[in-house]
Amino acid sequence: MNEVLTQRAPVGLTHCLTILDIDHFKRVNDTHGHPIGDAVIESIGQVLCHVARGPMCLPSALAARNSPC
């Protein structure tokens, strides 16, 4: 992540990492399939980048399965 931020972000800018949990998302994958689930995650990332209003927004997804949380 440091490498990506160093390459893409100008020096002196503040960075923010946002982590979110989509409640009951497994139900989306189980009901509609993983391609639809991936599209939902991508759409959420686009909305977050729009809200952040930053051209340097770097959306990505990290899936945690069998999380103890």
| Model pTM score | 0.60
DSSP secondary structure letter of residue 39: H
Cα–Cα distance for residue pair 36/25, rounded to 1 Å: 11
Query: Maximum Cα–Cα distance for the chain, whole Å?
Result: 45
Cα–Cα distance for residue pair 26/3, rounded to 1 Å: 31
Residue range 9-36, pLDDT digits in tens:
666 666 677 777 888 888 998 999 989 9
**pLDDT, position 67:** 46
**Residue that the structure tokens 């399939």 belong to:** 33
Encode 28-42: b = buried (16+ Cβ within 10 Å), e = exposed.
bbeeeeeeebeeebe
